[in-house]
Amino acid sequence: AVVEHTFNVGNLSISQLCQPARIITAVNGRLPGPTVEAREGDTVVVHLVNESPYNMTIHWHGVFQRGSPWADGPAMVTQCPVQPGANYTYRFNVTDQEGTLWWHAHISFLRATVYGALVIRPRGGAGAYPFSPKPHREDTVILGEWWNANVYDLQQQVFLTGDTTRMPPADAYTINGKPGDLYNCSAANQTYKFPVRSNETYLLRIINAALNTPMFFKVANHTFTVVGADAAYTTPYETDVVVIAPGQTVDALMVAGAAVGRYYMAASPYDSAIPQGPPFSMTNGTAIVEYAGSAGEEKPQLPPRTEYNDTDTAFRFLSNLTALVLPGKPTVPLSVDTRMFVTVGLGNGDCQPKQTLCNTTGTRSRIFSASMNNASFLLPDAVSMLQAHYYGDAASAGVYTRDFPDWPPVIFDYTADASDNDTLKYTTKSTKVRTLRYNETVEMVLQNTRLIGKESHPMHLHGFNFFVLAQGFGNYDEAAAAPRFNLVNPQERNTVAVPTGGWAVIRFVANNPGMWFMHCHFDAHLDLGLAMVFEVQDGPTAETSVPPPPLDLPQC
């Protein structure tokens, strides 16, 4: 079937937290935007009509985009932006994946308000879920961040000053766009309500759409059975807390098994960088689970708060999930063609033109920066990387280079303060890609580094799911880690939260020709260069090659 939508992106006037009404950018006048609902194998067609004052693109986060790389969406990677007043149609299939994905703007920080859910049910519909009990109802629960300031202006401040502390903490965490009534001045109509009936089962499709904050998610007096993550089924996993980094999704069953009453659903931040990192709001973003038969007025109970720096709880949840092994599903490739060791972290870098806050130390000016293997990624500005790739070497010369650095495993103590490490101290901005042959199998060790504090970076790969074979703390030690790889039922993800001060090992098969962004899903870090691009070469046939660009592809 074909699922067709029109997304009018435009101004929406909205007043939250007692602020004067503010103009945000939103799709079809709603926050969150519309849910795209499809069945596995469907074709999705979305007409983007840009009525906003900003350049716009939409990314279909987690969709493989096999054969449709022009529809992936990251600005300047797979397309030039859709300019104000212009249109573009995204056309792609949702094949070989089921569960919850989402869509968001992929330019500036505009995804703060331009986001929504993308739900992929089995071909047989909800009756064909490989878990039980079957839910009586499904709801999307989108966690977000709300700023009273204009997010486009915030992005300019962060980029021009290179100072993430210019990115003030969110003024509120939100559930389905609403902060909830624990914030000062947050009215009852700014609290999302979740009606339930005793003993019924609900499927919560939880999405973390926040710009910069991993979340703990709880419902007072209720527990969850996790059945999926990043649109891949998991072995059912019982928990009273869901941990979810920006970019990730979790599908969880919740039984309304508590006494008739009202209960808070609460999202609170996970941030291991404190006290050195930027501050954040200590108030929970909440929604209210309201039982049929309750008076609708009782003060809801709040779940016990998880400490903001509870890395044990975060690690336990994120590393305990395993895949539900189903017939016909891809399994972990056991032989590896290419091994990569890649650091992810923050550091100091060269100043860019227009950046105002550069310090000069000695002969060198520097600015806060972020990098992978010390290459700090800069988007091109004249043509998208996929266009440059498609039109061949003459077109790509001057747009990107194929020298993303290959690093040997562990040469430093990455957990030590990187500001004292000469190799990690300065990064240079560049647009480097790593070229992969069609069908090459890649194993990547993602190793966190530390400068102003340790952080868990949610690393997202476009165009693929990867298997997460192992995760741990400290410096990666292959001899100790490799024998413990899960090669039987590792979780499949498109975004892995690399443990704070630690590492994660992922594997994927480069079976999708195109230009695929890999980056930290903290927008502040993406902007500072915590990104790279895989250039996956064409396969032997037309079906395994990048197709010609659609006729309406925006030009820069």
Q: Where does this chain bind ligand C2O (CB under 6 A)?
A: 59, 61, 74, 104, 106, 247, 460, 462, 517, 519, 521
Q: Which residue is nearest to ligand C2O (CB)?
A: 61
Measured from the CB of residue 528, what is the shortest distance to ligand C2O in angstroms? 15
- Measured from the CB atom, the residue of 432 and 450 that comes closer to ligand C2O is 432
User: How many angstroms separate the CA atoms of 333 and 345, rounded?
Assistant: 28
Of 426, 434, 424, which Cα lies nearest the Cα of 162? 426
**In terms of CB distance, is 74 or 502 closer to ligand C2O?**
74
CB of 495 to ligand C2O, least distance (A): 8
Facing residues of 217 across strands? 242, 267
Nearer to ligand C2O, 61 or 121 (CB): 61
Our CB check for ligand C2O shows the closer of 144 and 247 to be: 247
CB 404 → ligand C2O: shortest distance, Å?
17
Q: Evaluate whether 38 touches 25 at the Cβ level (below 8 Å).
A: no
Residues in contact with 250: Cβ distance below 8 Å, sequence separation at least 6, in sequence order: 100, 206, 217, 226, 228, 229, 242, 244
What whole-number distance in Å separates Cα of residue 95 and Cα of residue 43?
9
- Three-class HEC string of 409-422: CCCCCCCCEHHHCH
Nearest to 443 by CA among 502, 498, 397, 485: 485
CB of 59 to ligand C2O, least distance (A): 5
**Which one, 33 or 135, has the nearer CB to ligand C2O?**
33
Nearer to ligand C2O, 159 or 517 (CB): 517
The label of the residue with tokens 């993430």 reads 164
Shorter beta-carbon distance to ligand C2O: residue 135 or 380: 380
The nearer residue to ligand C2O, 59 or 262, going by C-beta atoms, is 59
Nearer to ligand C2O, 458 or 554 (CB): 458
Strand order in the sheet with 36-39: 36-39, 115-121, 99-105, 58-61
Q: Which is nearer to ligand C2O, 178 or 521 (CB)?
A: 521
Supply the minimum distance, in Å, between the C-beta of residue 425 and ligand C2O: 27
Distance CA 35, CA 39 (A): 13
- What does residue 492 show for φ and ψ, rounded to 5 degrees? -105, 130
Rounded to a whole number of angstroms, the minimum distance from the CB of residue 380 to ligand C2O is 16
Locate the DSSP E strands across 240-281.
Answer: 242-244, 249-255, 262-269
What is the DSSP secondary-structure string of 102-166?
EEEE-STTGGGTSEEEEEEE-TT-GGG-SSSSPPSEEEEEEEEEE-SS-HHHHHHHHHHHT-GGG
Q: Which one, of 87, 88, 96, lies nearest residue 67 by Cα? A: 96
Closest approach, Cβ 533 to ligand C2O, in A, equals 11
Toward ligand C2O, which CB reaches closer, 5 or 106?
106
Q: Are the C-beta atoms of residues 369 and 419 closer than 8 Å to each other?
A: no
Residue 324 near residue 233 (C-beta atoms within 8 A): yes
Q: Please state the closest distance from residue 9 (CB atom) to ligand C2O, in A.
A: 17
Q: Least Å distance between CB 197 and ligand C2O? A: 34
**Please, what is the minimum distance in Å from the beta carbon of residue 284 to ligand C2O?**
24
Please tell me the distance from the alpha carbon of residue 512 to that of residue 496, in angstroms, as a whole number: 20
Which backbone phi and psi does 126 adopt, to 5 degrees?
-60, -25
Edge-to-edge strand ranges of the sheet holding 285-291 = 192-196, 285-291, 262-269, 215-219, 242-244
Q: Quick one: 119 or 424, whose CB is closer to ligand C2O?
A: 119
Residue 76 φ then ψ, to 5° = 70, -5
Q: Which is nearer to ligand C2O, 65 or 225 (CB)?
A: 65
Give the residues across from 447 on adjacent strands.
Answer: 343, 503
**Minimum CB distance to ligand C2O smaller for 181 or for 455:** 455
Contact 315, 495 (CB under 8 A): no
**Class of residue 137 by CB neighbours under 10 A (exposed 0-12, middle 13-18, buried 19+):** middle
CB of residue 249 to ligand C2O, shortest distance in Å:
11
DSSP state of 538: P
Residue 556 CB, shortest distance to ligand C2O, in Å, is 19
- Render 514-537 in DSSP notation, one character per residue: EEEEEEESSHHHHHTT-EEEEEEP
| Smallest separation (angstroms) from ligand C2O to the CB of 431 | 16
Q: Strand 201-208 relative to strand 249-255: parallel, antiparallel, unpaired?
A: antiparallel
Q: Can you tell me the distance from the alpha carbon of 167 to that of 253, in angstroms, rounded to the nearest whole number?
A: 35
Shortest Cβ 507–ligand C2O spacing (Å): 20
